[in-house]
């Protein structure tokens, strides 16, 4: 049954080659004091960093930079950005990089308008009530942060990794696939796993509908077809472009229209692994997803797994049960084929902290009872143990 839904995605997404030329007009009249948020050296090597500084200079902007944002960005980096915003009376935040850089920038943009510690906004102690204008230039096809309203921030002190919510929607995002040509094969593969997982989290729910089933299946086919090409041939523009466009739709709400709610169980579990071990988000998802699928395969859910297998891998032979099992096997095989790990032990992870992880999921996300197949504490532990 088609469920009611809200869809609000007002970001202007400027997709394609050379769209950076439109950054100047986009930020014009939005303020002159810019916080430029960046990660490591990738945008310096590619020349994007200089290009953006040139545009900001042409626009007469004064620029403060929050550089060195790391993967799985920590709240300490956000706090540093918020301090700069306050000291320099920043008007707008401009992020250029992968999802981590964009997420940190979003949290800074919210923290700048909040008088307390920005961790309050991540932990949910205080609601996000506003944010500085956010502009982004995305350089990695994965999170879709350039076209969604959230961010994910870690806290090394409390060993947590949580989603900051509250309408953190970029005003304009530039998505030029050329900027993604330099992404190394492992990050490309991890990004592909992240995009796929975003779809899985919305596709594998109790009730779907023809329209959003189709959106989801198109995105999954796009990733399965193009990720191997981009991994083997990083300079392939067409494959990069398909992946980047696919990634932008992951978390914007379009894929879940009219579907029953999902608590995003794989993300809930993977964020625990990243919080404890700092692993790459997409790689962690590649490991736990097949285990979660095996746990979720029941007589009631088999038809959906079989449908997925047919739509994405062309599996048509055998009974529904057989096709469902084969679809799950092919999912794991796909992740391995693009160079992703398949066991937590490959990261050196043991079961030592699984209990704490499961308890933290329950405390922060509830018991995942409304997942495709209800999980609860035992289900979370089973997924983790089956991934070892």
**Sites of contact with ligand NZQ (CB under 6 A):** 39-43, 71-72, 97-101, 103, 139-140, 142-145, 148, 150-152, 179-180, 182-183, 187, 191, 194, 251, 267, 281-282
| Nearer to ligand NZQ among residue 81 and residue 325 (C-beta) | 81
Tokens of 227: 């990720």
Q: Whole-number minimum distance, CB 60 to ligand NZQ, in Å? A: 27
Do strands 151-155 and 172-175 pair parallel, antiparallel, or not at all (unpaired)?
A: unpaired
Q: Whole-number minimum distance, CB 363 to ligand NZQ, in Å? A: 19
149, interface contact from Zn ion, ligand NZQ, none, CB < 5-8 Å by kind? none
| Nearer to Zn ion among residue 91 and residue 194 (C-beta) | 194
77, interface contact from Zn ion, ligand NZQ, none, CB < 5-8 Å by kind? none
100, interface contact from ligand NZQ, Zn ion, none, CB < 5-8 Å by kind? ligand NZQ
- SS3 for the chain is CCCCCCCCCCCEEEECCCHHHHHHHHHCCCCCEEEEEECCCHHHHCCHHHHHHHHHHHCCCEEEEECCCCCCCEHHHHHHHHHHHHHHCCCEEEEEECHHHHHHHHHHHHHCCCCCCCHHHHHCCCCCCCCCCEEEEECCCCCCHHHCCCEEEEECCCCEEEEECCCCCCCEEEECHHHHCCCCHHHHHHHHHHHHHHHHHHHCCCCCCHHHHHHHHHHHHHHHHHHHHHHHCCCCHHHHHHHHHHHHCCCCCHHHCCCCCCCCHHHHHHHHHHHHHCCCHHHHHHHHHHHHHHHHCCCCCHHHHHHHHHHHHCCCCCCHHHHHHHHHHHHHHHHHHCCCCCCHHHHCCCHHHHHHHHHHHHHHHCCCCCCCCCCHHHHHHHHHHHCC
| Nearer to ligand NZQ among residue 58 and residue 238 (C-beta) | 238
Contact 8, 110 (CB under 8 A): no
Q: Whole-number minimum distance, CB 154 to Zn ion, in Å? A: 14
Contact 153, 274 (CB under 8 A): no
Give the distance from CA 355 to its chain's centroid.
25
Contact 78, 118 (CB under 8 A): yes
Q: Whole-number minimum distance, CB 197 to Zn ion, in Å? A: 6
Q: Whole-number minimum distance, CB 201 to Zn ion, in Å? A: 8
| Nearer to ligand NZQ among residue 101 and residue 121 (C-beta) | 101
99, interface contact from Zn ion, ligand NZQ, none, CB < 5-8 Å by kind? ligand NZQ
142, interface contact from Zn ion, ligand NZQ, none, CB < 5-8 Å by kind? ligand NZQ
| Nearer to ligand NZQ among residue 153 and residue 324 (C-beta) | 153
For residue 97, count other CB atoms closer than 10 A to its CB: 26
Q: Whole-number minimum distance, CB 204 to ligand NZQ, in Å? A: 16
| Nearer to Zn ion among residue 26 and residue 152 (C-beta) | 152
Q: Does 103 bind Zn ion (CB under 5 A)?
A: no
| Nearer to Zn ion among residue 146 and residue 194 (C-beta) | 194
Q: Whole-number minimum distance, CB 351 to Zn ion, in Å? A: 23
> What residues have CB less than 8 Å from 78, skipping those under 6 apart?
104, 107, 108, 111, 118, 119, 122, 153
| Nearer to ligand NZQ among residue 39 and residue 290 (C-beta) | 39
350, interface contact from ligand NZQ, Zn ion, none, CB < 5-8 Å by kind? none
Count the residues of the shown chain that bind Zn ion, applying the rule CB under 5 A. Answer: 1
Q: Whole-number minimum distance, CB 241 to Zn ion, in Å? A: 20
Contact 92, 112 (CB under 8 A): no
Among 176, 194, 201, 326, indicate the residue that binds Zn ion (CB under 5 A): 194
Q: Whole-number minimum distance, CB 180 to ligand NZQ, in Å? A: 5
Comparing every residue's Cβ against ligand NZQ, the nearest one is 98
Q: Whole-number minimum distance, CB 91 to Zn ion, in Å? A: 30
131, interface contact from ligand NZQ, Zn ion, none, CB < 5-8 Å by kind? none
| Nearer to ligand NZQ among residue 43 and residue 311 (C-beta) | 43
| Nearer to ligand NZQ among residue 71 and residue 290 (C-beta) | 71
Q: Name the site residues for Zn ion (rule: CB under 5 A).
A: 194
């Amino acid at each position: 049954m088609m469920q009611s839904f809200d869809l609000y995605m007002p970001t202007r997404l400027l997709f394609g080659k050379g769209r950076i030329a439109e950054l100047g007009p986009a930020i014009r009249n939005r303020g002159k004091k810019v916080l430029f948020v960046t990660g490591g050296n990738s945008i310096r090597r590619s020349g994007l960093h200089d290009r953006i500084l040139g545009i900001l200079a042409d626009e007469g902007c004064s620029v403060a930079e929050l550089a060195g944002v790391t993967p799985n960005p920590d709240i300490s980096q956000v706090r540093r950005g918020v301090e700069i915003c306050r000291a320099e009376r920043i008007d707008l935040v401009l992020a250029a990089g992968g999802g981590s850089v964009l997420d940190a920038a979003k949290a800074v943009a919210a923290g700048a308008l909040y008088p307390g510690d920005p961790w309050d906004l991540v932990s949910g102690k205080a609601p996000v009530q506003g944010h500085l204008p956010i502009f982004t230039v995305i350089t990695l096809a994965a999170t879709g942060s350039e076209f969604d309203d959230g961010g994910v921030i870690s806290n090394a002190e409390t060993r947590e990794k949580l989603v900051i919510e509250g309408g953190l929607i970029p005003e304009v995002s530039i998505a030029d696939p050329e900027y993604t040509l330099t992404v190394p094969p492992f990050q490309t593969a991890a990004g592909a796993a992240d995009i796929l997982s975003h779809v899985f989290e919305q596709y594998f729910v109790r009730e779907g509908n023809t329209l959003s089933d189709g959106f989801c299946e198109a995105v999954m086919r796009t990733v399965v077809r193009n990720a191997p090409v981009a991994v083997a041939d990083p300079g392939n523009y067409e494959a990069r472009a398909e992946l980047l466009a696919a990634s932008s739709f992951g978390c914007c709400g379009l894929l879940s229209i009219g579907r029953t709610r999902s608590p995003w169980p794989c993300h809930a579990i993977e964020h625990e692994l990243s919080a404890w071990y700092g692993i790459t988000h997409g790689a962690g998802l590649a490991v736990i997803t097949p285990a979660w699928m095996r746990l979720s395969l029941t007589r009631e859910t088999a038809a959906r797994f079989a449908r997925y297998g047919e739509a994405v891998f062309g599996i048509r032979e055998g009974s529904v049960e057989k096709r469902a099992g084969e679809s799950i096997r092919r999912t794991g095989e796909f992740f391995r084929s693009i160079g992703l790990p398949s066991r937590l032990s490959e990261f050196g992870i043991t079961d030592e902290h699984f209990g704490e992880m499961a308890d933290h999921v329950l405390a922060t996300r509830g018991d995942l009872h409304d997942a495709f197949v209800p999980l609860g504490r035992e289900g979370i532990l089973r997924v983790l143990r089956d991934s070892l």
